[in-house]
Chains A and B, each alone.
Chain A
């Protein structure tokens, strides 16, 4: 019975994987056919083979196919740096402010309405103002990322602090904690799961606003690569650039979870 079940289980997994791979395979097929010599020209959509070679070249530079041979690392570093600075600013301001607003009534009254009002301006709406304030380039990009990341971090931190169980606070009080230690030992860890989900949403948004900022004209960064490639008519580089951003977004989320796991809080909190 057990063996039968396990066999069935294995088959089942292969089955679902097969179903999941069906659409990508179909897409690849259609793509391959439509880029045959008689199909779409190279400057509209490169063939899978061309794209694979360009990708390899973009990362490792051994094929010297374009001005972007081996350029991935330089641009990825520039982009990551902007995301890191912007995201860091958002977290450093958003977490304390959110936790304070969520746990102290008067602070919530003081800041919450204004923050919610500013929040309804879409992030892209800040672009023209940011360009006037910070000029085209690095500072504008970092500003946009920090701006976009701040709100989900603030909202989730406040929510997390508000919903810390009252009984934990009561327990801490009767064990001799004062208001400040309640904040550091109960509200902070109690709100942590919520803070972490705010951070993850913010990090995802950071990459979106990175591209927006870099499109406005910076010499380096993956957004700039995409924009330049459009000017040079190199569709393959545009697609590889998009893929690179997705990859970095994924990796940074993993890194964030890893770093949070390293902190003293519990593993289940993530």
Chain B
């Protein structure tokens, strides 16, 4: 058994993931090696790591899109088995349904859950306001900017009241302005609507601004290098970036990341992950 802290809503326990190597079943490429982490209820945790360290694979396993080779993921002490609406995912790419309007995209999960028309209408309306898209409900995704699309993507999962929110570098494809405004939006939303969030990023600033706890990941094979607690007071705004504490923490993390990169050997072919 790996570490299991009390009050953890989302637990990743000894997760390994290997793929068959280029020479078939004889060899394995291990992408994740014994990853352990836990996110407390109502906490926002970040996974920070260089690109190629397996962060997205880890998130896909937690979301249930891929199965771990060994180990398991628990949500509310229940072992997950495939994707489900208890874990909402905001993807890095645009994953809105282009044939549905903003209102229909946000209502998609509620319709699947069999809610009444009236309830769907009211909730969708409330969440459109929450992400600041009043007046856009009848627009289609291709008529929106990248930032607005991610707002819809956020509202689309929040409206289902998931146990946990998984965000896979959701703002990485946005320009600096849109990214900053999305970060503030997420802080605001998280203030009014406490959520358990696991947020993946390779951006040190983003990790520090948003999270209570940062798991620094290293590559080759992907594992948790360090577990950093972030104690800036809440509610936060982007102004904390100007404080000396922030700069000191940032320096520490940048150094950690360098170590993660150096320590991370290039992906090599090694025997399968220990069971």
Contacts and interface: CB of A to CB of B under 8 A. Distances in A.
Contact of A167 (B82, B93, B108): B93
Q: Max chain A CB contacts within 10 Å: which of B82, B87, B95, B113?
A: B95
Interface residue range, chain B: 20 to 34
Contacts of B109: 175-176
Contact of A171 (B82, B84, B89): B89
B112 A174 contact: no
Nearest to B91: A167
B106 to A, nearest CB: 10
A168 interface: yes
A186 B85 contact: no
Contacts of A171: 89, 91, 95-97
Contacts of A170: 63, 65, 83, 89, 91, 95
Interface string A182-202: 000110011010000000000
Q: Max chain A CB contacts within 10 Å: which of B65, B84, B96, B97?
A: B97
B147 to A, nearest CB: 18
A194 to B, nearest CB: 13
A174 B83 CA distance: 5
Nearest to B166: A174
A186 B112 contact: no
Nearest to A266: B99
A181 B84 CA distance: 14
A185 B156 CA distance: 16
A167 to B, nearest CB: 5
A177 interface: yes
Nearest to A193: B99
Interface of A: 167-168, 170-177, 181, 185-186, 189-190, 192, 265-266, 268-269
Pairs A-B, 9 closest by C-beta atoms: A176-B85, A175-B109, A173-B83, A176-B112, A189-B99, A171-B95, A167-B95, A266-B99, A174-B83
Given A170-B89, A171-B89, 17 more contacts: A170-B95, A171-B91, A171-B96, A171-B97, A173-B65, A173-B82, A174-B64, A174-B84, A174-B157, A175-B85, A175-B109, A175-B112, A175-B157, A176-B109, A185-B108, A189-B97, A266-B99
